[in-house]
A and B are shown apart, each in its own frame.
Chain A
Amino acid sequence: MSAAAVPARGTACSDSLRTRILLAILLWVTLGIVGIWYSATTLFAKHVERSYHDELSVHIEELAGLVRVDAGGELMLDRPLSDPRYLVPLSGFYWQIDVPDRPPMGSASMTRGSLAGQVARDDAIRHRVERGPTGATITYGVVRHVPRVGAVKFLVATDQRILDETVASFTHELTIWLAALAAALVATGFAAVSFGLQPLDRLSRASARLRSGAAARLDGDYPSEVAPLVEDLNAFIDYNRVTVERARVEAGNLAHALRTPLAVITDEAERLLQRAETRESAHSLLDQGQTMVQQIEYHLARARSAAGARGPTTQCRVDEVLPPILSAMRRLHPGKQFEFVALDAAESSWPLDPVDFAELLSILLDNAGKWSRRNIVVELTGNAETLQLRIVDDGPGLAPENTVTAFEIGTRFDPSKPGSGLGLAIAHDIAQAYDLQIALGARSDGRSGLEARITVTLAAAPTA
């Protein structure tokens, strides 16, 4: 099959092994990182809360332990609490002592507001979120009996925002680190996938070279997991090539085996043609014989070109294929001048089997040789996208309406010239099999003659 006829490769994400693996890695990393993030932040928040709880419980016990009653029956502290934050105004750390029938005592930090005394209900340390001097506070409270004073409420509080800020700071840093970790994991995964799939990339490029004709087999070294597949494919390619070649030979042998008896039949028919009583039968035999020859020749040529075009395409160069054909044409058409001009594409490669290309060129050159007065020029031009071969003769040319019908089977514009009327039909079939454009027309320089043009659109060349 020609390169252009190869079905387009699927490009959807689901068709790419690389994309599939990357999507799986992305999903796995996302789930893992989100799980870690959630677990870590939850655990950290609990840990921070527990730490605060323990710390404030110690603070409230310390506060209760520092209280004593002076001689006047007033409560007083032996010393300030050990945590200096209770001394800084509105620091977020506050304590308060509620004494029945007396104004409450408060920390130096509590320059305004008060703590909710109802948190302290009994001798067990309890805590609750209440409004405090600087917003929501986690307030711890306990009731202790103080001799000569009675039940006293001890309250210690810290702003909720301090705990929230601690947790938020941790979460922020954790998120950055986990995001970096996720990016590193995904990048590592991508690198691993790329490295791991390199043999498949090489196989893909080798396959492209095979299809374009730049290589005859899948070349290169592959890891043990892929090597057996490559070996099997190469064995299949070799088998296919041998089968196609054998089929071509067998088709040729069949034609050969049929043509010799047909030659005898033709000769017999020609002898019968000389007698009046058998003339009609002779004509019938000759006509049918001619039809058989046409069918053999046409279908043999089709089988040859179809077999060549369905296999991995090979490449051939005009400057290698053409010289022996021109040499043969000079012998076949003595007195005619055959000239090859390669303007700027002499070394270009054509994506078709050399045998089929030679058949195509031979047909067109023989046709030009038959009709030309003296000169036949083969001109090759091309660029990165297209190559064009023009075979220009100085014969009588063709009427515009005949330039298309000339490719039909059995078309002969001058029965006096030898030929079967199949050559151009076969050339057309070969061109079609390889997606080449073939056309006949007037000479582009306006002179008398015919110009046969073969054009090929080049596919992007695969890199090694």
Chain B
Amino acid sequence: MRLLVVEDDEQLASRLSDRLCDAGFAVDVARNRDEGAAWPDMDKIAAVILDLGLPDGSGMDLLRHWRQNKVDRPVLILTARGSWQDKVAGLNAGADDFVVKPVRFEELLARLHALLRRETGSRETWIEEAGIRLDPITREVECDGVPLSLSKQEYRLLNLLIRRPGQVLSQGDIIDHLYAIGSQRDFNAIEVLVSRLRRKIGAERIRTVRGLGYRFGR
């Protein structure tokens, strides 16, 4: 799953990006308002972490711009402006949550997952589908009750597929969701990744739909 972090502080953006990558997300970073406003594939972004104090404008304006342009991705505001006046304005501008810097990463992650969970309509902290149970916060995965050890990329792929059971995802879709925009994209790598994951969770759980892509579960 890809996240977009809009943060002008280079060091903080880099650290946050690293931590989120470690937590199983692919992360894109926009450094200012204009970059965020012109982001090309917002429909592939699972959620946005947005700073309010941007060098070329307010993050609040960027949020309003997205909402006016029907970008409905969940947005978590992560800002140093901590007054309730800012929080109320941010939430009413269309943000889904508001976190004040500095925040412990576990809390940020928990709230991020809560937003993503809200998207799926689930009230549970884990996702269970086709005998696979995935906890996005602890990153623990069980297959038919047996704990699995997955690599970072395998986990990301499973995390993407398990949230879209029954949907056919092309290799392009998978790349768009798993890799940040600037990173190297290789269709062969997706095939290899799918086959490695199949070996661990069972080939019947990820079926190939000829000419279209892959389908998880049902």
A interface residue numbers (CB < 8 A to B): 252, 255-260, 262-268, 270, 286, 289, 293, 297, 300-301, 304, 324-325, 327-328, 331-332, 334, 355, 358-359, 362-363, 366, 418
Contacts and interface: CB of A to CB of B under 8 A. Distances in A.
B154 to A, nearest CB: 22
A325 B107 CA distance: 23
Given A260-B12, A328-B91, A418-B107, A304 B83 contact: yes
Contacts, number: 87
B88 interface: yes
B104 interface: yes
A266 B12 contact: no
Contact of A331 (B53, B95, B111): B95
Given A331-B96, A418-B107, A259 B101 contact: yes
B92 A263 contact: no
Given A255-B80, A297-B82, A266 B103 contact: yes
B82 A259 contact: yes
B91 A264 contact: no
Interface string B70-98: 00000000001111110110111001111
Q: Which of B53, B87, B102, B111 has the most CB of A within 10 A?
A: B102
B140 interface: no
A260 B16 CA distance: 12
B101 A262 contact: yes
A302 to B, nearest CB: 12
A297 B87 CA distance: 14
Contacts of A260: 9, 12, 80, 101
Contacts of B15: 264, 267-268
Contacts of B81: 252, 256
A334 B115 CA distance: 10
A270 B108 CA distance: 13
Contact of A263 (B90, B96, B97, B102): B102
B82 A267 contact: no
Contacts of A332: 87, 91, 97-98
Nearest to A362: B84
Interface of A is mostly: helix
Given A297-B82, A334-B118, A324 B12 contact: no
A403 B111 CA distance: 29
A328 B93 CA distance: 9
B82 A363 contact: no
A262 B102 contact: yes
A256 B82 CA distance: 8
Interface string B23-67: 000000000000000000000000000000100000000000000
B184 interface: no
Given A331-B95, A331-B96, A359 B101 contact: no
A373 to B, nearest CB: 14
Q: Which of A255, A262, A289, A304 has the most CB of B within 10 A?
A: A255
Contacts of A366: 84
Contact of B83 (A258, A264, A293, A359): A359
Contacts of B105: 267, 270
A358 B12 contact: no
A363 B111 CA distance: 19
A263 B103 contact: yes
Interface in B106-126: 107, 111, 118
Sort A-B residue pairs by CB-CB distance and give the 3 closest, nearest first. A362-B84, A259-B80, A263-B102
Interface of B: 9, 11-12, 15-16, 19, 53, 80-85, 87-88, 90-92, 95-98, 100-105, 107, 111, 118
Given A260-B12, A328-B87, A362-B87, A266 B80 contact: no
A360 to B, nearest CB: 9
Nearest to B100: A259
6 contacts: A255-B80, A264-B11, A267-B12, A270-B104, A300-B82, A418-B107
B83 A328 contact: no
B18 to A, nearest CB: 9
Nearest to A355: B85
B104 A266 contact: yes
Q: Which of B15, B85, B90 has the most CB of A within 10 A?
A: B85
Contacts of A262: 101-102
B180 to A, nearest CB: 19
Given A256-B53, A262-B102, A359 B16 contact: no
A256 B59 CA distance: 14
Contacts of B88: 324-325, 328, 358, 362
B12 A252 contact: no
Contacts of B103: 263, 266
B107 to A, nearest CB: 6
Contacts of B9: 260, 264
A331 B91 contact: yes
Given A256-B53, A270-B104, A327-B92, A358 B82 contact: no
A199 to B, nearest CB: 40
Contacts of A266: 102-104
A252 B83 contact: yes
A265 B97 CA distance: 23
Nearest to B52: A256
B17 to A, nearest CB: 11
Nearest to A363: B84
Contacts of A331: 91-92, 95-96
Given A260-B12, A264-B9, 6 more contacts: A255-B82, A267-B105, A327-B92, A359-B83, A363-B84, A418-B107
A161 B104 CA distance: 112
Given A297-B82, A304-B83, A328 B92 contact: yes
A292 B88 CA distance: 24
Nearest to B99: A418
A263 B118 contact: no
